[in-house]
Amino acid sequence: MKAFKANEEESGQGRISRGVEVSGDVLFSDVLQIEGKVTGKLISESGSLLIEQTGEVQADVDVGVLVIRGALNGNANAKSRVEVYKTARVQGDITTPVLLVEEGAILSGAITMGTASPRVTGAFPLEGNEELRKSKGAT
Amino acid sequence: MKDSEQPPSNNWLQRLEPVKSIFRAATSKLKSRSTQPTPEVEPELKPASNHALKIAGYSLVLMDPDGQVVWTREWDSGGVFEFRPNQRLWIFCGFTNHTKRETEISEYEVELMGEDGMVIERFGNSFGDSVIIPPGESKDFPAEWQM
């Protein structure tokens, strides 16, 4: 079984397979797919981190693109965008210029970009998320 | 499997009838619950992916009280991604006034762009009173879409 390979020769995609636990800092360049468990830090200058449905990440994340279908417990910073799908459970603050959230996702933490930091807590859809709405007309 | 266990083909069709009825009932319920105007094409024939927007980038357009564009910028979204039904999208665009004068903003637009660079969605917002951004100061301009 392929456990972890962060810089696969051709595809540039690494994978932490289901049943595998990694502890410590993980640096990658292209794409890292997590189906297992990671604790520590996940860092990539412009790469994409995919936390799959079986994936559990207890780490601070600093990447280019972050796609979450599993569990993330930690703060995330994505330079380009974050996608949070319906099976995702996120506990932590997210800093990103682009945030996509699918109905059913559980997201608890602050969403930050620059000075704006609307607080989001609960399961989507959040029809009454006044704080986030207020930020649209912020002065 | 023994020959005697294989049902004749007619029986198979008959056994599928209840399934077909359930499917028909379910699709007709879905159609009746839809708030969309009735399209000419049967909705169940349209794949869900038709409703997905492929987004490759976005831009911010700032306008002064006269409606003149005072600043605009485009960003790459870090690769193409799909925006589908039951999803919500927020984009936070930042502007920093690098000039030596105050910038007065009364309205702004955030545009979503497809792979071909064309604008596929637009979010607009205006301020009751203009927003003054002093030199060296920054401001975020958020936009939100729901499908």
Model confidence pLDDT, tens digit, residues B71-126:
999 999 999 999 999 999 999 999 999 999 999 999 999 999 999 999 999 998 88
| Pairwise CB contact (< 8 Å): A79 & B125 | no
Residue A8 lies in a domain: no
Cβ B59 vs Cβ B111: under 8 Å? yes
Residues in chain A with CB shorter than 8 Å from the CB of B89 are 98-101
| Cβ separation B79–A48 shorter than 8 A | yes
The model's pLDDT over A45-54, given as tens digits with 9 standing for 90+, comes to 999 999 999 9
Strands A76-84 and A98-102: parallel
Best to test chain B binding among A100, A119, A130 (most B CBs inside 10 Å): A100
How far apart CA A49 and CA A31 sit, in angstroms, is 6
pLDDT in tens, A71-96: 999 999 999 999 999 999 999 999 99
Residue A60 belongs to a domain: yes
Query: Measuring CA to CA, which residue among A75, A46, A83 is closest to residue A58?
Result: A75
Q: How many domains are there within chain A? A: 1
Which residue in B has a C-alpha nearest to residue A80's C-alpha? Answer: B78
Instruction: At B138, list the tokens.
Output: 């920054």
Asked if residue A1 is part of any domain, the answer here is: no
Whether A80 has its CB under 8 Å from any CB of chain B: the answer is: yes
Structural domain count of chain B: 2
Same domain, B82 and B23: no
Give the structural domain span for A50.
13-134
- Token pair of B116 as six digits: 């071909």
Residue type at A121?
Answer: T
**ipTM of the shown complex:** 0.75
Judge contact between A38 and A59, C-beta under 8 A: yes
Query: Which stretches within B39-133 are classed as H helix?
Result: none
Q: Are residues B59 and B112 in the same domain?
A: yes
Mutate to test the interface with B, among A46, A67, A69, A81 (most CBs of B within 10 A): A81
Both B110 and B135 in a single domain? yes
Same domain membership, residue B129 and residue B94: yes
Are B34 and B59 contained in the same domain? Answer: no
Q: Is the bond preceding B43 in cis, omega lying within 30 degrees of 0? A: no
What does the angle CA A80 – CA A86 – CA A88 come to, to the nearest 5 degrees?
70
Q: pTM surpassing 0.90? A: no
Are B81 and B125 in a shared domain? yes
Of A10-19, A129-138, B50-59, B100-109, give the range with the top mean pLDDT.
B100-109
Query: What is the pLDDT, as a whole number, of residue B125?
Result: 87
Q: What is the pLDDT of residues A103-118, one digit of tens each?
A: 999 999 998 874 333 4
The parent domain of residue B25 ranges over 3-44
The verdict on B19 and B68 lying in the same domain is no
Of A80, A103, A115, the CB nearest to B138: A115
Q: Which amino acid is at A126?
A: L
Q: In this structure, are B31 and B58 located in the same domain?
A: no
Q: If we measure between CA atoms, which residue out of A101, A36, A98 comes closest to residue B58?
A: A98
Closest residue in chain A to residue B76, using alpha carbons only: A80
B88 plus B120 within the same structural domain: yes
